Amino acid sequence: MKQMLIFFTLFMVSFFGYSQGNWTWTKLSNLPITTSNNAVVECISGEGKYVYSFGGISGALTQSDIHQRVFKYDVSQDSWAEKSAIPDTLGKIASGASCVKDKIYLMGGYHVATNGVETSSNKVHIYNTTTDLFEAEGNPIPTPIDDHVQAVWRDSLIFLITGWSNSGNVPDVQIYNPELNSWMMGTPTPNFSFYTSFGASGYILGDTIFYFGGAKDFPTFEATNVLRKGVIDKNDPTQIDWSVINSGNGETLYRAACSGHDKTVFWVGGSMEAYNFDALEYYNNKPVKPNKRIYEIDLQQKSQSNIYSVQTQGMDLRGIAKLGGGNWMIAGGIDSLQHATKDTYLLHNPRLSNIGNANIPPLFKVNGNGDYFEVVTENVGEISVYDTQGRILYNAKKQLADLKIHKSNLQKGILIFAYDDKVNLPIIIKKIHP
């Protein structure tokens, strides 16, 4: 009976529902090496969807484990490949990466010398995603910076907000224009610990910057739970109106990944304590563990939520890849045993997508290539194949990677491919005439 009901819905007039689905975590192919504090970013173009990991620290989390290696993840193939290393004198951690118009801008970070001296970087490495090669460096960052908040405004300007510069936190807001390869100085944050921090993370929604957490300056290096916002003047983006939304937002947060969609900003993972690159808390040298939390702020509902789960993995995150359709990806980090990890996860939340308000179905293509059918979708979901009598011939889970079905597994004649992403009703279909 259920099978007949599903088949009947394939021919109904489409209408789209809105689900309140929870966050789901799916394990993807591992990074080639263990790595943490690596700058992670997506780049989406006509060529496809890719995620990049730049630098970081691997192995035993010692100074000698800081590296310059670069990895590229192909979403359609669920596979990683190593690319040319970061063209710098030493490996570095705590950098930020942003993609603007097919180029990635890897900014700041810090080096650790063999004698333990830490030096903030002023470099702008420009990575061409078409050639997979680094180009000539951009103009240096006016104030060397690391562990800063880095976010893109209107796919045009890259904002570097507060962070650590060699000897302390700074209130600087440094704005890079990739098109002109030039810097502007924005309105600085107020110069006290409610605003200045290292290890905070944030995101720009529309014309408003939100950033949360991070650690205070010397001598305490305490993690904070302060949520700040900066309203950008759309006519003059150097002018920013700074304010504190809340100075007691539950648990403190340090080195979490941050992203957002529409009216929601969220933070994934991180820790409640500030720590050095070895995952040991400052001053007392106690091991620090991930907080296993996703913290969401819904600006439309004026609400916030803490979602705790053993599935929530990792701390020491320096970026999260936004892939569309309610999908994000994290790669690397430090686990609860204070180990750098190879783990790569897909995070999916249909609430944080445009599907609920869409007038057209999500991307769903079936290509007949040689001996295989290749199923391409924007979202995760389930693929079923039926014959014209409603008999199911094939069923499989569909992750972000394209799904290949060998034609020998299916009969000849008209086939009906059904895609259920648990958001749209009824199920979306395609008829194939082999």
| Other Cβ atoms closer than 10 A to 138 | 21
The CA distance from 301 to 88, in Å, is 45
Contact 400, 380 (CB under 8 A): yes
At residue 84 the predicted structure's pLDDT band, cuts being 50, 70 and 90, is very high
Tell me what pLDDT residue 354 has.
67
Q: pLDDT by residue (tens digit) across 155-199?
A: 999 999 999 999 999 999 999 999 999 999 999 999 998 999 999
Confidence of residue 63 (pLDDT cuts 50, 70, 90): very high
Indicate the pTM of the whole model.
Answer: 0.83
What domains are defined for the chain? 24-352 (2.120.10.80), 359-433 (2.60.40.3080)
Among the listed ranges 64-68, 159-163, 206-210, 307-311, which one has the minimum average pLDDT value? 307-311
Residue 229 has pLDDT above 70, yes or no: yes
Sign of dihedral through CA atoms 407, 409, 411, 415?
Answer: negative
Nearest to 33 by CA among 96, 103, 94, 85: 85
- At position 87, the amino acid (one-letter code) is P
User: How does strand 381-386 pair with strand 392-398?
Assistant: antiparallel
Q: Read off the pLDDT of each residue in 36-58 and give the average, rounded to a whole number.
A: 92
- Computed over every residue of the chain, the mean pLDDT equals 88
What is the Cα–Cα distance from 40 to 317, expressed in whole angstroms? 8
**pLDDT beyond 70 at 434:** no
pLDDT, average across residues 35-56: 92
Q: What is the largest CA-CA distance in the chain?
A: 73
pLDDT in tens, 369-419: 788 888 888 777 888 888 877 788 899 888 777 888 988 888 887 888 888
Residue 4, helix vs strand vs coil: helix
Question: pLDDT tier at 303 (50, 70, 90 boundaries)?
Answer: confident
d(CA 371, CA 34): 36
- 194, 195, 199, 204 alpha-carbon torsion, rounded to 10°: 130
Query: How distant is the alpha carbon of residue 113 from its chain centre?
Result: 29
H or E segment at 149?
Answer: strand 149-153
Q: Which residues, 6+ apart, have CB-to-CB distance to 50 below 8 Å?
A: 42, 43, 44, 72, 73, 74, 75, 129
Question: Which pLDDT tens digit goes with each residue over 131-141?
Answer: 999 999 999 99
